């Protein structure tokens, strides 16, 4: 890291020398200037590559936060959206939750719907997830004794 800082310092020195006193540029020979230029290209390329990897990594994680969503394109001039689960119609600008707890919104050119209930993982084999679609909630309970709640590790939506 000190190696990069030293070269960055030298590049800044060269730029400052060019700006302030053009004659000071002679202090640096061609090999030094070439190495500084190559290092700057390497650092810039490395920075761009790291940024691209970070963006791709975040994009790969995005479905974990907003999984089970879908978008339907509306016909031009549409005034309503039809819920694909309940087959009900909803005006443009409205939002609703259907009978399966899917949360939807109707915009002027598209309808967006996302799962409203979580998918539960990491619970014991002797447990089961019980969904209450009237309240849009769930419980993880023992198969043999539903009054006994079970632990679970993750909720993915």
DSSP secondary structure letters along 7-48: HHHHHHHHHHHHHH-GGGGGGS-HHHHHHHHHHHHHHHHHHH
- Average pLDDT across the chain, whole number: 75
Contact in structure between 10 and 27 (CB atoms under 8 Å): no
Q: How many domains does the chain have?
A: 3
Residues 60 and 75 in one domain: no
User: Residue 93 is encoded by which pair of tokens?
Assistant: 């600008």
Does residue 60 sit in the same domain as residue 106?
no
Range of the domain at 136: 119-156
Residue-level pLDDT at 77: 92
Q: Are residues 110 and 125 in the same domain?
A: no
Residue 145 predicted with pLDDT over 60: yes
CB 99 within 8 A of CB 110: no
Together in a domain, 73 and 55? no
Residue located via tokens 């993982």: 121
pLDDT at 35: 66
pLDDT tens for each residue of 37-89: 666 555 556 666 666 555 554 444 444 444 579 899 999 999 999 999 999 99
47/127: higher pLDDT: 127
């Amino acid at each position: 890291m000190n190696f990069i800082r030293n070269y960055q310092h030298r590049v800044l020195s060269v730029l400052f020398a060019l700006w302030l006193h053009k004659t000071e540029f002679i202090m640096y020979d061609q090999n030094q200037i070439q190495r500084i230029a190559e290092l700057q290209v390497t650092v810039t390329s490395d920075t761009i590559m790291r940024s691209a990897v970070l963006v791709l990594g975040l994009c790969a994680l995005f479905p974990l936060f907003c999984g089970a969503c879908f978008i339907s394109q509306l016909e031009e001039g549409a005034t309503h959206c039809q819920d694909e689960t309940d087959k009900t119609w909803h005006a443009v600008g409205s939002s609703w939750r259907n009978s399966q707890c899917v949360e939807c919104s109707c915009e002027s050119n598209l309808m967006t719907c996302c799962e409203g209930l979580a998918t539960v993982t990491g619970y014991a084999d002797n447990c089961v997830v019980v969904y209450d679609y009237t309240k849009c909630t769930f419980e993880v309970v023992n198969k043999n004794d539903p009054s006994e709640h079970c632990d679970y590790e993750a909720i993915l939506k």
